[in-house]
Amino acid sequence: MTEEGRTPDSAARPRHRDGESGGLQQEQVRAIVDAIDQSDAARLTELTSPLHAADKADLLEVVGADQRAALFDLWRPDLDPDVLAHLVETVRDALVPRLTREELVRAVDHLDTDDAVYVIEGLDPAEQQELLDAIPAPDRAALREGLTFEEDSAGRLMQRELVAVPAYWSVGHIIDYLRASDDLPDEFYDVFIIDPQHRPVGTIRLSRLVRNQRSVMVRDLMDRELRLVPSDMDQEEVAYLFSQYGLASAPVVDRAGRLIGVITHDDVAEVIAEEAEEDILHLGGVGETDFHDSVFRTSRKRFLWLFCNLGTALSASFVISLFHETIAELVALAALMPIVAAIGGNAGTQAMTVAVRALATRDLAPTNAFRSVRKEVLVAIINGVLCAVLMGAITWVRYENWELAGVMAVAMVANLMMAGFSGALIPVTLARVGVDPAPAAGVFITAITDMVGFFVFLGLAFLLLT
Protein backbone atom coordinates (compact mmCIF):
# COMPACT_ATOMS: atom_id res chain seq x y z
CA MET A 1 0.00 0.00 0.00
CA THR A 2 1.21 3.50 -0.71
CA GLU A 3 1.25 6.67 1.33
CA GLU A 4 -0.72 8.64 -1.20
CA GLY A 5 -3.99 8.73 0.71
CA ARG A 6 -5.26 12.14 1.85
CA THR A 7 -2.64 14.22 0.02
CA PRO A 8 -2.94 13.89 -3.75
CA ASP A 9 -0.63 15.71 -6.11
CA SER A 10 -1.42 19.37 -6.58
CA ALA A 11 -2.13 18.78 -10.24
CA ALA A 12 -5.19 16.78 -9.29
CA ARG A 13 -6.69 19.59 -7.24
CA PRO A 14 -9.43 21.78 -8.69
CA ARG A 15 -8.40 25.25 -9.77
CA HIS A 16 -10.44 28.06 -8.23
CA ARG A 17 -10.81 31.63 -9.32
CA ASP A 18 -9.23 34.39 -7.24
CA GLY A 19 -11.32 35.15 -4.17
CA GLU A 20 -13.18 31.84 -4.38
CA SER A 21 -12.85 29.36 -1.55
CA GLY A 22 -12.15 25.68 -2.03
CA GLY A 23 -14.80 22.99 -2.06
CA LEU A 24 -17.78 22.42 -4.28
CA GLN A 25 -19.67 25.42 -5.60
CA GLN A 26 -23.44 25.36 -5.98
CA GLU A 27 -23.16 26.09 -9.69
CA GLN A 28 -20.91 23.05 -10.10
CA VAL A 29 -23.32 20.80 -8.23
CA ARG A 30 -26.29 21.96 -10.29
CA ALA A 31 -24.41 21.45 -13.55
CA ILE A 32 -23.30 17.96 -12.51
CA VAL A 33 -26.79 16.96 -11.41
CA ASP A 34 -28.19 18.15 -14.75
CA ALA A 35 -25.57 16.09 -16.58
CA ILE A 36 -26.47 13.01 -14.48
CA ASP A 37 -30.18 13.46 -15.20
CA GLN A 38 -29.44 13.78 -18.93
CA SER A 39 -27.07 10.75 -18.86
CA ASP A 40 -24.40 12.93 -20.44
CA ALA A 41 -21.25 10.94 -19.60
CA ALA A 42 -18.92 13.20 -21.57
CA ARG A 43 -20.17 16.31 -19.78
CA LEU A 44 -19.94 14.55 -16.40
CA THR A 45 -16.36 13.55 -17.05
CA GLU A 46 -15.48 17.09 -18.04
CA LEU A 47 -17.08 18.55 -14.91
CA THR A 48 -15.79 16.04 -12.35
CA SER A 49 -12.30 15.15 -13.58
CA PRO A 50 -10.63 18.27 -12.08
CA LEU A 51 -12.22 17.72 -8.66
CA HIS A 52 -10.18 16.80 -5.59
CA ALA A 53 -10.99 13.41 -4.06
CA ALA A 54 -12.57 15.10 -1.01
CA ASP A 55 -14.82 17.19 -3.29
CA LYS A 56 -15.85 14.07 -5.21
CA ALA A 57 -16.79 12.46 -1.91
CA ASP A 58 -18.81 15.53 -0.95
CA LEU A 59 -20.55 15.38 -4.32
CA LEU A 60 -21.55 11.76 -3.75
CA GLU A 61 -22.97 12.73 -0.37
CA VAL A 62 -25.11 15.66 -1.55
CA VAL A 63 -26.80 14.10 -4.59
CA GLY A 64 -29.73 11.70 -4.41
CA ALA A 65 -29.33 7.93 -4.09
CA ASP A 66 -30.03 7.19 -7.77
CA GLN A 67 -27.79 10.02 -8.96
CA ARG A 68 -25.09 8.84 -6.55
CA ALA A 69 -25.15 5.34 -8.01
CA ALA A 70 -24.98 6.64 -11.58
CA LEU A 71 -22.09 8.98 -10.81
CA PHE A 72 -20.17 6.32 -8.89
CA ASP A 73 -20.60 3.80 -11.71
CA LEU A 74 -19.19 6.38 -14.13
CA TRP A 75 -16.08 6.78 -11.98
CA ARG A 76 -15.61 3.10 -11.20
CA PRO A 77 -13.19 2.15 -14.01
CA ASP A 78 -10.72 4.84 -12.96
CA LEU A 79 -11.92 5.58 -9.44
CA ASP A 80 -9.55 7.56 -7.25
CA PRO A 81 -9.37 5.37 -4.11
CA ASP A 82 -9.00 8.45 -1.94
CA VAL A 83 -12.67 9.21 -2.67
CA LEU A 84 -13.67 6.16 -0.64
CA ALA A 85 -11.54 7.28 2.31
CA HIS A 86 -13.32 10.66 2.42
CA LEU A 87 -16.89 9.29 2.37
CA VAL A 88 -19.06 9.26 5.47
CA GLU A 89 -19.77 5.79 6.81
CA THR A 90 -23.34 5.47 5.56
CA VAL A 91 -22.53 6.46 1.97
CA ARG A 92 -19.34 4.37 2.00
CA ASP A 93 -21.27 1.24 3.03
CA ALA A 94 -23.77 1.84 0.22
CA LEU A 95 -21.16 2.32 -2.51
CA VAL A 96 -18.34 -0.12 -1.68
CA PRO A 97 -20.50 -3.19 -2.58
CA ARG A 98 -20.89 -1.75 -6.09
CA LEU A 99 -17.18 -2.31 -6.72
CA THR A 100 -15.98 -5.59 -8.17
CA ARG A 101 -13.43 -7.52 -6.13
CA GLU A 102 -10.65 -6.45 -8.50
CA GLU A 103 -11.66 -2.80 -8.25
CA LEU A 104 -11.83 -2.97 -4.47
CA VAL A 105 -8.46 -4.73 -4.23
CA ARG A 106 -6.88 -2.03 -6.39
CA ALA A 107 -8.41 0.72 -4.23
CA VAL A 108 -7.37 -0.86 -0.93
CA ASP A 109 -3.83 -1.53 -2.19
CA HIS A 110 -3.47 2.17 -3.07
CA LEU A 111 -4.52 3.53 0.33
CA ASP A 112 -2.69 3.97 3.62
CA THR A 113 -3.39 1.20 6.10
CA ASP A 114 -5.71 3.36 8.21
CA ASP A 115 -7.74 4.47 5.18
CA ALA A 116 -7.83 0.94 3.78
CA VAL A 117 -9.19 -0.40 7.08
CA TYR A 118 -11.84 2.33 7.07
CA VAL A 119 -12.96 1.33 3.57
CA ILE A 120 -13.32 -2.39 4.28
CA GLU A 121 -14.47 -2.38 7.91
CA GLY A 122 -18.13 -2.17 6.85
CA LEU A 123 -17.96 -5.40 4.83
CA ASP A 124 -19.30 -8.69 6.16
CA PRO A 125 -16.61 -11.01 7.63
CA ALA A 126 -16.88 -13.35 4.64
CA GLU A 127 -16.46 -10.46 2.20
CA GLN A 128 -13.51 -9.12 4.22
CA GLN A 129 -11.85 -12.52 4.11
CA GLU A 130 -12.36 -12.85 0.36
CA LEU A 131 -10.88 -9.40 -0.17
CA LEU A 132 -7.89 -10.00 2.13
CA ASP A 133 -7.07 -13.26 0.36
CA ALA A 134 -6.61 -11.28 -2.86
CA ILE A 135 -4.21 -8.75 -1.31
CA PRO A 136 -0.42 -9.34 -1.17
CA ALA A 137 0.71 -11.03 2.03
CA PRO A 138 2.55 -8.10 3.74
CA ASP A 139 -0.37 -5.72 3.24
CA ARG A 140 -2.84 -8.44 4.18
CA ALA A 141 -1.19 -8.90 7.56
CA ALA A 142 -1.27 -5.16 8.25
CA LEU A 143 -4.96 -4.93 7.36
CA ARG A 144 -5.89 -7.93 9.46
CA GLU A 145 -4.11 -6.44 12.43
CA GLY A 146 -5.79 -3.09 11.83
CA LEU A 147 -9.23 -4.70 11.85
CA THR A 148 -8.56 -6.27 15.25
CA PHE A 149 -8.31 -2.89 16.98
CA GLU A 150 -11.30 -1.07 18.43
CA GLU A 151 -12.96 1.31 16.00
CA ASP A 152 -11.96 4.57 17.74
CA SER A 153 -8.56 3.42 18.96
CA ALA A 154 -5.06 4.51 18.00
CA GLY A 155 -4.59 1.13 16.30
CA ARG A 156 -7.35 1.97 13.83
CA LEU A 157 -6.07 5.49 13.37
CA MET A 158 -2.42 4.64 12.75
CA GLN A 159 -0.74 3.84 9.46
CA ARG A 160 1.87 1.14 9.18
CA GLU A 161 4.08 2.99 6.66
CA LEU A 162 6.95 4.66 8.54
CA VAL A 163 10.75 4.99 8.65
CA ALA A 164 12.61 3.29 11.52
CA VAL A 165 16.40 2.91 11.83
CA PRO A 166 18.80 1.62 14.52
CA ALA A 167 20.64 3.93 16.89
CA TYR A 168 24.11 2.94 15.65
CA TRP A 169 23.56 4.46 12.19
CA SER A 170 24.96 7.81 11.10
CA VAL A 171 23.18 10.66 9.32
CA GLY A 172 24.83 9.63 6.06
CA HIS A 173 23.65 6.05 6.50
CA ILE A 174 20.07 7.24 6.94
CA ILE A 175 20.21 9.53 3.91
CA ASP A 176 21.62 6.76 1.72
CA TYR A 177 18.91 4.42 2.98
CA LEU A 178 16.15 6.93 2.23
CA ARG A 179 17.45 7.50 -1.30
CA ALA A 180 17.86 3.81 -2.10
CA SER A 181 14.69 2.40 -0.57
CA ASP A 182 11.65 1.76 -2.77
CA ASP A 183 9.36 1.13 0.20
CA LEU A 184 9.20 4.53 1.86
CA PRO A 185 6.10 6.55 2.72
CA ASP A 186 5.48 9.33 0.23
CA GLU A 187 5.21 11.77 3.12
CA PHE A 188 6.69 11.54 6.62
CA TYR A 189 7.99 13.96 9.22
CA ASP A 190 10.08 11.94 11.65
CA VAL A 191 12.58 9.11 11.49
CA PHE A 192 12.04 6.77 14.44
CA ILE A 193 15.06 5.30 16.20
CA ILE A 194 14.56 1.76 17.51
CA ASP A 195 16.48 -0.66 19.72
CA PRO A 196 17.13 -4.34 18.82
CA GLN A 197 13.69 -5.28 20.22
CA HIS A 198 12.08 -2.80 17.79
CA ARG A 199 11.08 -0.46 20.60
CA PRO A 200 11.27 3.28 19.85
CA VAL A 201 14.00 5.07 21.80
CA GLY A 202 14.05 8.41 19.98
CA THR A 203 13.13 10.44 16.92
CA ILE A 204 14.84 12.73 14.45
CA ARG A 205 12.86 15.40 12.64
CA LEU A 206 13.69 15.42 8.91
CA SER A 207 14.55 19.11 9.01
CA ARG A 208 17.16 18.40 11.67
CA LEU A 209 18.50 15.38 9.81
CA VAL A 210 19.31 17.23 6.58
CA ARG A 211 21.06 20.09 8.40
CA ASN A 212 23.72 17.83 9.97
CA GLN A 213 26.92 16.32 8.59
CA ARG A 214 26.89 12.76 7.30
CA SER A 215 29.31 11.61 9.99
CA VAL A 216 27.07 12.62 12.92
CA MET A 217 25.75 9.56 14.78
CA VAL A 218 22.05 9.07 15.28
CA ARG A 219 22.39 8.49 19.02
CA ASP A 220 24.00 11.95 19.36
CA LEU A 221 21.29 13.66 17.36
CA MET A 222 18.00 12.00 18.26
CA ASP A 223 15.36 13.47 20.55
CA ARG A 224 14.90 11.02 23.41
CA GLU A 225 11.69 12.59 24.72
CA LEU A 226 8.96 10.47 23.14
CA ARG A 227 5.19 10.64 23.35
CA LEU A 228 4.34 6.98 22.91
CA VAL A 229 0.78 6.11 21.91
CA PRO A 230 -0.50 2.68 23.03
CA SER A 231 -2.41 0.94 20.27
CA ASP A 232 -5.54 0.72 22.45
CA MET A 233 -5.59 4.43 23.37
CA ASP A 234 -8.84 6.17 22.48
CA GLN A 235 -8.54 8.51 19.51
CA GLU A 236 -9.79 11.41 21.62
CA GLU A 237 -6.83 10.88 23.96
CA VAL A 238 -4.53 10.83 20.93
CA ALA A 239 -5.96 14.13 19.71
CA TYR A 240 -5.33 15.66 23.13
CA LEU A 241 -1.66 14.56 23.03
CA PHE A 242 -1.14 16.17 19.62
CA SER A 243 -2.90 19.36 20.65
CA GLN A 244 -1.19 19.62 24.02
CA TYR A 245 2.36 18.99 22.82
CA GLY A 246 2.23 20.26 19.21
CA LEU A 247 3.18 16.92 17.67
CA ALA A 248 3.60 16.36 13.93
CA SER A 249 3.60 12.59 14.36
CA ALA A 250 3.73 10.05 17.17
CA PRO A 251 4.82 6.40 17.35
CA VAL A 252 2.21 3.75 18.14
CA VAL A 253 3.37 0.79 20.22
CA ASP A 254 1.86 -2.56 21.14
CA ARG A 255 1.60 -3.96 24.68
CA ALA A 256 5.24 -5.06 24.57
CA GLY A 257 6.34 -1.53 23.63
CA ARG A 258 7.29 -2.46 20.04
CA LEU A 259 6.83 0.12 17.30
CA ILE A 260 3.91 -0.93 15.08
CA GLY A 261 2.75 2.28 13.40
CA VAL A 262 2.62 6.05 13.31
CA ILE A 263 -0.11 8.65 13.66
CA THR A 264 0.32 11.93 11.80
CA HIS A 265 -1.19 15.34 12.39
CA ASP A 266 -3.54 15.15 9.39
CA ASP A 267 -5.20 12.06 10.84
CA VAL A 268 -5.56 13.81 14.19
CA ALA A 269 -7.05 16.91 12.56
CA GLU A 270 -9.86 14.70 11.27
CA VAL A 271 -10.33 13.19 14.73
CA ILE A 272 -10.60 16.63 16.34
CA ALA A 273 -13.23 17.66 13.79
CA GLU A 274 -15.11 14.37 14.24
CA GLU A 275 -15.12 14.59 18.04
CA ALA A 276 -16.30 18.22 18.00
CA GLU A 277 -19.04 17.36 15.53
CA GLU A 278 -20.02 14.31 17.56
CA ASP A 279 -20.39 16.35 20.75
CA ILE A 280 -22.54 18.95 19.01
CA LEU A 281 -24.77 16.27 17.48
CA HIS A 282 -25.08 14.40 20.77
CA LEU A 283 -26.22 17.56 22.51
CA GLY A 284 -29.16 17.51 20.12
CA GLY A 285 -29.75 13.78 20.43
CA VAL A 286 -28.80 12.95 16.84
CA GLY A 287 -25.98 11.04 15.15
CA GLU A 288 -23.44 11.90 12.48
CA THR A 289 -25.11 9.60 9.94
CA ASP A 290 -28.64 10.96 10.40
CA PHE A 291 -28.41 13.14 7.30
CA HIS A 292 -27.63 10.19 5.02
CA ASP A 293 -29.53 7.37 6.77
CA SER A 294 -32.93 6.14 5.66
CA VAL A 295 -36.09 7.53 7.26
CA PHE A 296 -36.64 4.34 9.25
CA ARG A 297 -33.08 4.10 10.65
CA THR A 298 -33.01 7.80 11.53
CA SER A 299 -36.38 7.56 13.28
CA ARG A 300 -35.31 4.48 15.22
CA LYS A 301 -32.12 6.12 16.49
CA ARG A 302 -33.84 9.35 17.48
CA PHE A 303 -36.71 7.66 19.27
CA LEU A 304 -34.59 6.70 22.29
CA TRP A 305 -33.71 10.35 22.85
CA LEU A 306 -37.34 11.38 22.45
CA PHE A 307 -38.42 8.58 24.78
CA CYS A 308 -36.09 9.88 27.49
CA ASN A 309 -37.40 13.40 27.00
CA LEU A 310 -40.93 12.06 27.19
CA GLY A 311 -40.07 10.73 30.63
CA THR A 312 -38.87 14.16 31.78
CA ALA A 313 -42.03 15.76 30.37
CA LEU A 314 -44.20 13.28 32.29
CA SER A 315 -42.28 14.10 35.47
CA ALA A 316 -42.92 17.80 34.93
CA SER A 317 -46.61 17.15 34.21
CA PHE A 318 -46.86 15.21 37.47
CA VAL A 319 -45.58 18.26 39.36
CA ILE A 320 -48.15 20.43 37.60
CA SER A 321 -50.94 18.00 38.45
CA LEU A 322 -50.21 18.48 42.16
CA PHE A 323 -51.36 22.08 41.83
CA HIS A 324 -54.31 21.74 39.46
CA GLU A 325 -56.67 23.41 41.92
CA THR A 326 -54.33 26.40 42.26
CA ILE A 327 -54.13 26.75 38.48
CA ALA A 328 -57.91 26.53 38.22
CA GLU A 329 -58.27 29.42 40.68
CA LEU A 330 -55.75 31.63 38.87
CA VAL A 331 -55.64 30.93 35.15
CA ALA A 332 -52.75 33.38 34.68
CA LEU A 333 -50.45 30.75 36.19
CA ALA A 334 -50.96 28.55 33.12
CA ALA A 335 -49.75 31.36 30.88
CA LEU A 336 -46.66 32.09 32.99
CA MET A 337 -45.49 28.54 33.75
CA PRO A 338 -43.86 27.90 30.33
CA ILE A 339 -41.75 31.05 30.74
CA VAL A 340 -40.24 29.82 33.99
CA ALA A 341 -39.44 26.40 32.54
CA ALA A 342 -38.06 27.77 29.25
CA ILE A 343 -35.70 30.26 30.86
CA GLY A 344 -34.45 27.62 33.29
CA GLY A 345 -33.90 25.11 30.49
CA ASN A 346 -31.95 27.62 28.41
CA ALA A 347 -29.78 28.65 31.36
CA GLY A 348 -29.08 25.00 32.15
CA THR A 349 -28.14 24.33 28.54
CA GLN A 350 -25.70 27.24 28.57
CA ALA A 351 -23.93 25.95 31.67
CA MET A 352 -23.99 22.37 30.38
CA THR A 353 -22.48 23.34 27.01
CA VAL A 354 -19.61 25.16 28.68
CA ALA A 355 -18.98 22.20 31.01
CA VAL A 356 -19.10 19.58 28.26
CA ARG A 357 -16.68 21.59 26.14
CA ALA A 358 -14.34 22.13 29.09
CA LEU A 359 -14.36 18.41 29.83
CA ALA A 360 -13.51 17.64 26.21
CA THR A 361 -10.55 20.03 26.26
CA ARG A 362 -9.54 18.92 29.79
CA ASP A 363 -9.92 22.42 31.17
CA LEU A 364 -12.43 21.05 33.66
CA ALA A 365 -11.16 18.45 36.13
CA PRO A 366 -11.97 17.34 39.70
CA THR A 367 -9.45 19.87 41.02
CA ASN A 368 -11.37 22.85 39.66
CA ALA A 369 -14.90 21.41 39.46
CA PHE A 370 -16.08 23.24 42.59
CA ARG A 371 -14.81 26.56 41.27
CA SER A 372 -16.59 25.96 37.94
CA VAL A 373 -19.89 25.08 39.64
CA ARG A 374 -19.65 28.11 41.92
CA LYS A 375 -19.05 30.41 38.97
CA GLU A 376 -22.06 29.04 37.07
CA VAL A 377 -24.27 29.44 40.14
CA LEU A 378 -23.17 33.06 40.59
CA VAL A 379 -23.75 33.78 36.89
CA ALA A 380 -27.18 32.17 37.15
CA ILE A 381 -28.08 34.25 40.22
CA ILE A 382 -27.13 37.49 38.49
CA ASN A 383 -29.06 36.58 35.34
CA GLY A 384 -31.92 35.31 37.50
CA VAL A 385 -32.20 38.65 39.27
CA LEU A 386 -32.21 40.51 35.95
CA CYS A 387 -34.85 38.19 34.50
CA ALA A 388 -36.84 38.42 37.75
CA VAL A 389 -36.95 42.23 37.61
CA LEU A 390 -37.97 42.16 33.96
CA MET A 391 -40.62 39.43 34.23
CA GLY A 392 -41.89 40.76 37.57
CA ALA A 393 -42.54 44.13 35.96
CA ILE A 394 -44.17 42.57 32.89
CA THR A 395 -46.39 40.37 35.09
CA TRP A 396 -47.51 43.32 37.18
CA VAL A 397 -48.31 45.43 34.09
CA ARG A 398 -50.19 42.54 32.47
CA TYR A 399 -52.16 41.26 35.49
CA GLU A 400 -51.88 44.14 38.02
CA ASN A 401 -51.11 41.69 40.78
CA TRP A 402 -48.09 42.38 43.01
CA GLU A 403 -48.21 38.94 44.64
CA LEU A 404 -48.20 37.18 41.28
CA ALA A 405 -45.33 39.38 40.10
CA GLY A 406 -43.37 38.48 43.24
CA VAL A 407 -44.01 34.77 42.76
CA MET A 408 -42.80 35.06 39.18
CA ALA A 409 -39.64 36.88 40.25
CA VAL A 410 -38.72 34.45 43.00
CA ALA A 411 -39.38 31.45 40.75
CA MET A 412 -37.11 32.95 38.10
CA VAL A 413 -34.20 33.37 40.49
CA ALA A 414 -34.64 29.93 42.06
CA ASN A 415 -34.94 28.09 38.76
CA LEU A 416 -31.98 29.83 37.11
CA MET A 417 -29.85 29.17 40.17
CA MET A 418 -30.75 25.48 40.03
CA ALA A 419 -30.15 25.48 36.26
CA GLY A 420 -26.63 26.87 36.68
CA PHE A 421 -25.84 24.43 39.47
CA SER A 422 -27.13 21.33 37.65
CA GLY A 423 -25.79 22.45 34.27
CA ALA A 424 -22.26 22.59 35.65
CA LEU A 425 -22.39 19.66 38.07
CA ILE A 426 -24.23 16.99 36.08
CA PRO A 427 -21.70 16.77 33.18
CA VAL A 428 -18.84 16.45 35.69
CA THR A 429 -20.68 13.75 37.61
CA LEU A 430 -21.53 11.78 34.48
CA ALA A 431 -17.93 11.98 33.27
CA ARG A 432 -16.69 10.71 36.65
CA VAL A 433 -18.89 7.59 36.41
CA GLY A 434 -17.86 6.90 32.81
CA VAL A 435 -20.94 8.20 30.99
CA ASP A 436 -20.56 10.53 28.00
CA PRO A 437 -22.08 13.82 29.24
CA ALA A 438 -22.78 15.19 25.76
CA PRO A 439 -25.89 13.08 25.04
CA ALA A 440 -26.90 12.29 28.63
CA ALA A 441 -26.62 15.57 30.51
CA GLY A 442 -29.38 17.35 28.61
CA VAL A 443 -32.04 14.85 29.68
CA PHE A 444 -31.25 15.27 33.37
CA ILE A 445 -30.98 19.04 33.19
CA THR A 446 -34.31 19.36 31.37
CA ALA A 447 -36.00 17.23 34.02
CA ILE A 448 -34.49 19.18 36.90
CA THR A 449 -35.20 22.67 35.55
CA ASP A 450 -38.76 21.77 34.57
CA MET A 451 -39.66 20.11 37.86
CA VAL A 452 -37.93 22.71 40.05
CA GLY A 453 -39.33 25.59 38.05
CA PHE A 454 -42.90 24.33 38.15
CA PHE A 455 -42.70 23.27 41.80
CA VAL A 456 -41.29 26.57 43.04
CA PHE A 457 -43.63 28.69 40.90
CA LEU A 458 -46.81 26.76 41.66
CA GLY A 459 -45.84 26.10 45.28
CA LEU A 460 -45.38 29.80 45.97
CA ALA A 461 -48.59 30.56 44.15
CA PHE A 462 -50.40 28.01 46.36
CA LEU A 463 -48.97 29.54 49.53
CA LEU A 464 -49.37 33.22 48.64
CA LEU A 465 -52.23 33.49 46.18
CA THR A 466 -54.83 30.97 47.37
Domain extents for the chain? 10-148, 164-264, 295-465
Higher pLDDT, 226 or 307: 226
Q: CA dist 316 to 38, 253, 411, 416, 463, Å?
A: 56, 51, 15, 16, 20
At the topology level, CATH places domain 10-148 in: MgtE N-terminal fold (1.25.60)
Is there a contact between 342 and 413 (Cβ–Cβ < 8 Å)? no
Q: What is the CB neighbour count within 10 angstroms for residue 226?
A: 16
pTM of the entire predicted model = 0.63
Residue 298 or 137, more confident:
137
pLDDT in tens, 366-375: 778 888 899 9
Lowest mean pLDDT among 90-99, 155-164, 359-368: 359-368
- In angstroms, the Cα distances linking 369 to 196, 279, 348, 434 are 46, 20, 16, 16
**7 falls in which pLDDT band (50, 70, 90)?**
very low
Residue type, 302: R
Question: What average pLDDT score do residues 122-148 get?
Answer: 85
53 and 83 Cβ atoms separated by less than 8 Å: yes
> Could you tell me which residue, 338 or 309, shows the higher pLDDT?
338
Q: What is residue 387's DSSP assignment? A: H
| DSSP letters spanning 126-166 | HHHHHHHHTS-HHHHHHHHHHHHS-TTBHHHH-BS---EEE
Q: What is the pLDDT of residue 134?
A: 86
Place 1 in a pLDDT band, splitting at 50, 70 and 90. Answer: low
Per the CB < 8 A criterion, the answer to whether 336 and 388 are in contact is no
What does each C-alpha distance from 291 to 64, 298, 409, 457 come to in angstroms? 12, 8, 42, 40
- Residue 319 CA to residue 451 CA, distance in Å, equals 6
pLDDT of 276 > 90? The answer is no
Residue 18 vs residues 8, 21, 22, 337: alpha-carbon distances, Å? 22, 8, 11, 55
CATH, domain range 295-465:
1.10.357.20
> What integer is the mean pLDDT of 355-378?
84
Q: How do residues 256-269 score in pLDDT, each as one tens digit? A: 999 999 998 888 88
pLDDT confidence tier of residue 19, bands split at 50, 70 and 90: very low
User: Among 288-302, 353-367, 376-390, which stretch is predicted with the lowest mean pLDDT?
Assistant: 288-302
pLDDT at 14: 37
Q: Which of 446, 339, 354 is nearest to 391 (CA)?
A: 339
For the chain, the average pLDDT equals 85
pLDDT, residue 368, reads 85
Domain 164-264 maps to which CATH number in 3.10.580.10, 3.40.1410.10, 3.40.640.10, 3.30.930.10?
A: 3.10.580.10
What pLDDT is stored for residue 191 in this prediction? 93
For residues 250-259, average pLDDT: 94
Residue 22 pLDDT class (50, 70, 90 cuts):
low
